[in-house]
Chains A and B, each alone.
Chain A
């Protein structure tokens, strides 16, 4: 079974530029998450999708960050314009099988996209 795929793995941009990250979750996983992990900190949830609807985006800086999951499968996270403090690893995760099986909250993570803003 293929895992969570993310791209690009690494991205370096200047501040005020834009960047987009892509994620393809495990097949059949209805829930998709974007986490931000700043060096030395734990992952912080940016946005959680259930199919193509948003469940939680309370910590997403909506003035510069946006995310979409149009067909309930893959997702894109965009930052525009980027700031120095956006330098972090952006982790995508997915969970829960379809058809109402109990979601115990176990997350399956991709390898992450490391963003450096200069």
Chain B
């Protein structure tokens, strides 16, 4: 079984400040991990993914995340927030293959001008 916990359903940052969205996972096998972004009235769009190899992964729009096996974490960061980053962000995990992808409950990011 697998699960995802996202700490903080709402996060507010000032424009230009660091963005940190937290994700912890549980998986019985080495996981594949994802961050998706959802803008209002739209579907989810992939930001970045970790499958194997380098533990620091870079995604679109300046986001990156680091896979830390010892901490079972996959936190999402961006050095400087932009107004256009305001959206809801979902962390997801899967064992890979054709197995189920499980999503967290989401973190809504507000960027304050």
**Residues of A participating in the B interface, judged by any CB pair closer than 8 Å:** 4, 31, 33, 35, 40-45, 48, 50, 55-56, 91, 93, 96, 102-112, 114
Contact = CB atoms under 8 A, between A and B. Distances in A.
Nearest to B103: A42
Interface residues of B, number: 27
Given A4-B43, A91-B43, A107-B44, A42 B105 contact: yes
Nearest to B6: A42
Given A42-B104, A109-B43, A104 B32 contact: yes
Interface in B39-57: 41-46, 49, 51
A56 B43 contact: no
B96 interface: yes
B101 interface: yes
B92 to A, nearest CB: 8
B44 A43 contact: yes
Given A42-B106, A104-B49, A107-B44, 19 more contacts: A35-B103, A40-B106, A42-B104, A42-B105, A43-B90, A45-B102, A48-B100, A56-B100, A91-B44, A96-B98, A102-B96, A103-B97, A104-B32, A105-B92, A105-B94, A109-B36, A109-B45, A110-B43, A114-B41
B103 A43 contact: yes
Nearest to B97: A103
B51 A41 contact: no
Contacts of B100: 45, 48, 56
Nearest to B94: A105
A43 B43 CA distance: 10
A107 B49 CA distance: 11
